[in-house]
Amino acid sequence: MLNEVTALRHVVSLRAGGSVPGVTETDDLGTYVVKYTGAAQGRKALVAEVVVGELARRLGLRVPDLVRVRFDPAVAAGEPDQEVQDILRASAGLNLGMDFLPGARDFTRQGPAVDPLEAGRVVWLDALTANVDRTWRNPNLMVWHGRLWLIDHGAALIFHHRWSDAGAAVTRRYGMADHALGVFGPDVAAADRALAPLVTEELLREVVDLVPEEWLADEPGFDSVGQLREAYVAHLAARAAASELWLPDGFATPEQLRATEAERTAAKQAGRPAWLQHIPS
């Protein structure tokens, strides 16, 4: 079971992502970035955070510690933003915290350089778990003490939003051409040889069992939470066993990324009034 802490003070809301997480102080003297069940992505985003984050940790990748955060909206009574208050009031109870890394900075294409073996392992994990949200526009990577840390996995596990199609997704190859680490020549084949044999049903069951039961309750099409947990295990185990069918390739070069960004900027500028055309977006 993930450690459980109690929120004592809501420090600040973070507007960088759609989930609007909050930096929160807790009763273990820790500070965490908390993601809320009342946010637009709901409980399934927290399920994905636990499953993918804890799987990454067991595969040797760096992920900030995750905890269960018992949250009372009263500790955030001073939050001035009404939209955020609505999220907080809808999130009483159990939420998810990620250890706050003081002094960490966002990873950018400018560096630091990432070893092809490490890049390959991150790309392989994202391909396995259908995490298409780690792009060069939105890396969801931090640099802390000179090392790469993985964050924000709430958009992964696409298959669990429509279980009726999960069988077809076992061998699906997800688009990774603009992956944030694609420019570093990720050695995905080496990662597959090293990691695929480790993703056993036993390991997956250990990870999935960390998800709080209340986040899995009342899922249509399943008779029990236990049955749903086994569905996650079976899907990811089958996907790992079929990795040769979905290994990503064809990553964009730096030149292609620059061209794509220029096209994107031009398209945005074209839709703006003439008097705004030359003001940066």
- Looking at the fold, whether 136 and 169 belong to one and the same domain comes out as yes
- Looking at the fold, whether 130 and 231 belong to one and the same domain comes out as yes
Going by pLDDT thresholds of 50, 70 and 90, the confidence category of residue 15 is confident
DSSP assignment of 39-74, as one string? Answer: STTHHHHHHHHHHHHHHHHHTT-----EEEEEE-GG
- What value does the mean pLDDT take over residues 252-266? 68
Here the tokens at position 208 are 């999935």
Residue 263 belongs to some domain of the structure = no
Q: Read off the amino acid at residue 77.
A: A
Give CA–CA dist 179/161, Å, rounded.
Answer: 22
pLDDT over 60 (residue 278): no
| pLDDT per residue as tens digits for the range 198-218 | 999 999 999 999 999 999 999
Of 101, 130, 149, the one marking the end of a domain is 101
Residue 1's pLDDT is what? Answer: 87
| pLDDT per residue as tens digits for the range 83-121 | 899 999 999 999 999 999 999 999 987 778 999 999 999
Query: Taking the model in full, what pTM does it have?
Result: 0.90
Weakest-pLDDT range from 122-126, 189-193, 262-266? 262-266
| Residue-range definition of the domain harbouring residue 170 | 106-256
Side-chain-side CA neighbours of residue 120 (13 Å): 17
Please, which residues bridge with residue 9 across strands?
25
Residue 276 belongs to some domain of the structure = no
Of 70, 101, 132, the one marking the end of a domain is 101
Give CA–CA dist 139/214, Å, rounded.
Answer: 30
